[in-house]
Amino acid sequence: MTSIFSVETQQEMKNEIVEQIMKTVAVLVQDKNQKRYLRVSECSEYASVSLGTLKMWIEKYKLPVSCIEGVRIIDTRDLDDFIAKFKI
């Protein structure tokens, strides 16, 4: 079967596909290695804001926090979603 693409173009396409797959795998591996639930102090570092700012977000904007036996944790997915709401 003949191709409408030259051999060079086919090779470039293959290389691009492999590169995209490798990038996707790298992101998935990185996501798997990150903790999903963080203490409030860890979340401030995760979001690159002060602890005071994060506490204000919790109080003023009702950022969801779970409290289990006195330990306050935040789901990083909730934090990511919260921050995304304020994109301009």
DSSP state of 64: -
The residue-averaged pLDDT of 19-35 equals 78
pLDDT band at 74 (very low <50, low <70, confident <90, very high): very high
Q: Are 57 and 24 a contacting pair, CB within 8 Å?
A: no
Nearest to 73 by CA among 48, 54, 49, 52: 54
What pLDDT does residue 30 have?
66
Q: For all residues of the chain together, what is the average pLDDT? A: 91
pLDDT higher at 44 or 32: 44
Q: What share of the chain is helix, strand, coil (3-state, %, to 5)?
A: 60, 10, 25
Q: Could you read off the pLDDT of 45-70 as tens digits, one per residue? A: 999 999 999 999 999 999 999 999 99
